[in-house]
Amino acid sequence: MKFDVYANLDHLFMLNFSVKAACLQKLLPSSLKVLDYRGRGFPSIVLPCIKNLRPVGLNFPYVNYELYGLRILVEYKSRQLGRVKGIYFKELIIAPNWVRQIANVVSPFYFKRGTILKRSTVDNVVDISVTNSESEILLSAKVSTDRTSPKRITASSVFSSPEEAMKMYNDIMYGFLPDEKNHMI
């Protein structure tokens, strides 16, 4: 089933980091290659909060949900365009569970069951906790939401500037690859 939807992005936390490309390659289907720079691959943990999701032209109730995704930047060979860049999600969790069940029916992605909690604290910090269906902790983080964070890079970064890092994370030609058997290429 395919239909257009409207939604509001309430907020998006994106935790970016680098890993040896060879380590990340083990997580990918054989048709995908890690998009690397200086031998490093760049996964992200994405945590958007979606509000008021609704299908266009249908009188369904609005849906709100939290998402956790382990996102890996990849290259792959497209039949029409040759080698292009994309995003592969190794793991996706949606909460609440009833939204997950619907999403698994209407999308080519597979969403796992889990719990996503975000709690604001003092000094523009949000405590984030993500657990899977077995209550194992997948992520526990304190995220600063001040406006200066994207303008800094760590001393050990492979990038020479914040702009160079942002280009790597945002310079993707084509979208999301659901899984090995449903690649949209």
Which amino acid appears at position 168 of this protein? M
pLDDT over 80 at 100, yes or no:
yes
| CA gyration radius, the chain | 17
Q: When comparing pLDDT for 177 and 114, which is higher?
A: 114
CA distance 161 to 167: 10
8 A C-beta contact, residue 66 and residue 9? no
8 A C-beta contact, residue 185 and residue 176? no
CA distance 71 to 43: 5
8 A C-beta contact, residue 76 and residue 29? no
Q: Output the pTM of the full model.
A: 0.77
Q: Name, in order, each residue with C-beta under 8 angstroms of 82's C-beta and a sequence gap of 6 or more.
A: none
In angstroms, how far is CA 34 from the centroid of its own chain?
Answer: 15
Task: Give the pair of three-digit tokens for residue 140.
Answer: 């526990």
DSSP 112: B
At residue 84, the pLDDT reads 84
At residue 182, the pLDDT reads 45
Residue 2 burial (10 A CB sphere; 0-12, 13-18, 19+): exposed
| Lowest model confidence (mean pLDDT) among 115-119, 133-137, 139-143, 177-181 | 177-181
* pLDDT category of residue 148 using cuts at 50, 70 and 90: low
Cα→Cα distances 47→126, 131, 142, 181, Å: 12, 13, 13, 25
* pLDDT category of residue 10 using cuts at 50, 70 and 90: confident
β-strand partners of 63 = 53
- pLDDT above 70 covers a percentage of the chain that reads 85
Q: Which residue has the tokens 């200086």?
A: 38
Residue 175 burial (10 A CB sphere; 0-12, 13-18, 19+): exposed
